[in-house]
Amino acid sequence: MQPHFQNLRKKKIVLIGPPGAGKGTQAVRISELLQIPHISTGNMLREFVKTSEPPGAHLKSCLESGRLVPDETIVEIVNQRLSQEDCREGFVLDGFPRTLPQAEMLDLILKHKHTELDCCLSFSIDFEEVVKRIYHRSQCELRSDDTVEIAQERMRQFDRLTAPLLEYYREQGKILEVSSIGSVDEVFTEIADLLGNRQQPTFNTPKPSHSQKLSKC
């Protein structure tokens, strides 16, 4: 059952969090709640690499190794998708941006469309829970890019690249913190509460990195 809020409106949202944090699951629910498209860059890239052309093969290599797709490629894909009519009033963007330069490019894309991002949902989760979720997902979906080793590489990338990205959005006052610990329904209720404009203060206090948590495992 979805929470109901009288002051919910369509928004332009990005989701940021480590692999296995449940972003994709929650993005689908946010999409249904706000009646905005769910844009999964991961899904778009996986569809793209099904081609036998060299660009597809290169992207497949990036996905299977946990490396980031080149900025020029992912930015072009995102820009094309955001140019479609269904994104005019809002969207939930899952998988982009992942770095500060990508966030700056997203702002430029939206500026050219005479709009801007409304908020960034930042998902937090312990590494032990990530491993459990990644393993479960790999068994259910048979995804070749879902292994513990690839998850570890993505966590290292996340720590290294995402800290300045989160600070960028925090300075804009657009960060909304989401705890991924709990059931899918519990996490979604928290998100709906935040999107219903029940204000949550944000602080600049540094948080332990995921790599620090990883070293304790």
160 is catalytic: no
In the structure encoding, which two tokens stand for residue 121, read together? 């949902």
38 to 64, 90, 125, 154: CA distances (angstroms): 23, 10, 22, 22
115 is in an annotated binding site: no
Q: What is the 3-state secondary structure (H, E, C) of 125-183?
A: CCHHHHHHHHHHHHHHHCCCCCCHHHHHHHHHHHHHHHHHHHHHHHHCCCEEEEECCCC
Residue 22 annotated as part of some ligand binding site: yes
Q: Is 130 annotated as a binding residue?
A: no
According to the annotation, is 24 in a ligand binding site? yes
Residue 208 assigned as binding residue: no
d(CA 58, CA 74): 13
- Are residues 59 and 69 in contact, defined by beta-carbon separation less than 8 angstroms? yes
Q: Is 66 annotated as a binding residue?
A: no
Question: Is 156 known to sit in a ligand binding site?
Answer: no
Active-site residue 137, yes or no? Answer: yes
Q: What angle do CA 150, 49, 77 make, to 5 degrees?
A: 95
- According to the annotation, is 137 in a ligand binding site? yes
Is there a binding annotation on residue 95? yes
Whether 3 has a binding-site annotation, put simply, is no
Identity of residue 59: L
Selecting among 11, 88, 113, 143, the annotated active-site residue is 143
Q: Tell whether residue 182 is among the known ligand binding residues.
A: yes
Q: SS3 for 121?
A: strand
The residue from 137, 156, 170, 213 that is catalytic is 137
Please identify which of the residues 12, 29, 60, 98 carries the catalytic annotation: 98
Catalytic residue among 12, 29, 133, 154: 154
Query: Is 98 considered catalytic here?
Result: yes
Q: Which of 23, 29, 81, 174 is flagged as catalytic?
A: 23
Q: How far apart are alpha carbons 61 and 30 in whole angstroms?
A: 31
Binding residues: 20-25, 41, 46, 67-69, 95-98, 102, 137, 143, 154, 182
Binding residues for AMP: 41, 46, 67-69, 95-98, 102, 143, 154
Binding residues for ATP: 20-25, 137, 182
Supply the residues annotated as catalytic: 23, 98, 137, 143, 154
